[in-house]
Amino acid sequence: MKEDELRMEEPEAERAPRSVGFLISQLGFFSSKRFMDALEPLGIGPRDFSLMRFVDASDGQSQHALAERLGIPPSRMVALVDGLEEMELLERRPDPDDRRVRGLFLTRKGRSVLEKAGKIAIDYETQLCAGINREEREQLIDLLQRLQVTQTDLGGVHPGMSE
Amino acid sequence: MKEDELRMEEPEAERAPRSVGFLISQLGFFSSKRFMDALEPLGIGPRDFSLMRFVDASDGQSQHALAERLGIPPSRMVALVDGLEEMELLERRPDPDDRRVRGLFLTRKGRSVLEKAGKIAIDYETQLCAGINREEREQLIDLLQRLQVTQTDLGGVHPGMSE
DNA sequence: CAGAAATCGTTTCAACACAGAACAATTTAT
DNA sequence: ATAAATTGTTCTGTGTTGAAACGATTTCTG
């Protein structure tokens, strides 16, 4: 196709392209950022939130197991857990059966913070979807889930934009 | 395995939450990454692509103007333009009216690369949307555009994940 | 016109995030 | 008993990022 085809008066490249890929990338970034900001009063980041949810789902898992499930390298997990432990939201307990592993457990404070974070997440979701109704939201989620991104992605937590 | 006996009742936090915010963030990240990979043969990143599109849309704009429009700090723009100029895709020309400003122009090679990048973008979009039909795609774009993210976002290029 | 202030592009700098490699302690396999 | 694998950790190198300081130039102001 030629280049000057539909070049009427509108710059054609000025406006955001009407593309799923572009919109997803853009919205994804700013959405992450906004959620991060919303979480900031709690002193935790999105990744902390994810990790805590996983720990809450099943106490006592090893760091290794969690790291694998979250798709982050073990070295990264150390820093993550360090932070959470320093804030007393999480604690490492020695495993009675294997002295190499440290099981992760939420503290009481950790559960409390996680609960607040959950509320924040819901509020955020509500606000994000303020422009569409419930049915449209279901539709949107359905469509998003049918997008062809690498098969093995979901479940992990993407890097970038910490704290 | 040890404890996956009564795992029928959905761990509740194990599965990816059915949330627009979460899906958008996750898909956005991996989508960016994939597009970046697709662009890699050309030796440019998504941000280069965006910048080039803007330059193409109106030749001769100052770096300052572009930087503001893209929402990136001037210091970053320098590196960005440096890279493109070194690859001979872009060139800085002195402004006859103001010796401070350097207008940005695409080279012939730049236009060629931009065109290829555009094709890659279209291919990528096609592949991304392979799981939904044309009508659904329109619907998806419509819904995405109605999401409530900060009003002033779009048009800018988010940082992160360079080259 | 002279001097102050703003603008443009650039360089420098410090802060971080990130992941790969090497490591010690421990457990499991041969 | 020795070798190999696992777990968590530290170390280190690489890269991105934006704030700040800087010259050069232009515009504003009196």
Which tens digits make up the pLDDT trace of A27-62? 999 999 999 999 999 999 999 999 999 999 999 999
Average pLDDT, chain A: 87
State how far the Cα of B109 lies from the Cα of B88, in Å rounded to an integer.
7
Residue B63 has pLDDT above 90, yes or no: yes
Contacts of A105 (CB under 8 A, 6+ apart): A55, A59, A60, A90, A91, A93
At B156 the pLDDT is: 67
Considering only CB atoms, A25 lies closest to which of B31, B54, B129, namely: B31
Cβ of A73 < 7 Å from strand C? yes
- Structure confidence by residue, pLDDT tens digits, A4-15: 332 333 444 556
Chain B positions in Cβ-Cβ contact with residue A58 (cut-off 8 Å): 3, 11, 14
Residue of A nearest to B124 (CA): A21
At A17 the pLDDT is: 79
The average pLDDT across A80-93 equals 96
At A10 the pLDDT is: 42
Please report, for residues A95, A102, A135, A153, B97, the alpha-carbon distance to residue A60 in angstroms, rounded to integers and kept in the order given: 8, 8, 39, 25, 69
At A117 the pLDDT is: 97
Tokens 């898909």, located at residue: B27
CB-proximal positions of chain C, under 7 Å: 7-12, 16-22, 25-28
Q: Which residue has the higher pLDDT, B8 or A162?
A: A162
Most confident of A5-19, A114-128, B12-26: A114-128
Average pLDDT, chain B: 87
* Res. B7 pLDDT band, cuts 50 70 90: very low
- Structure confidence by residue, pLDDT tens digits, B69-115: 999 999 999 999 999 999 999 999 999 999 999 999 999 999 999 99
State if pTM tops 0.75: yes
Question: Percent of chain B beyond pLDDT 70?
Answer: 84
CB-proximal positions of chain D, under 7 Å: 6-11, 15-21, 23-27
The average pLDDT across B1-23 equals 58
Tell me which H or E stretch contains A103.
Answer: strand A102-106
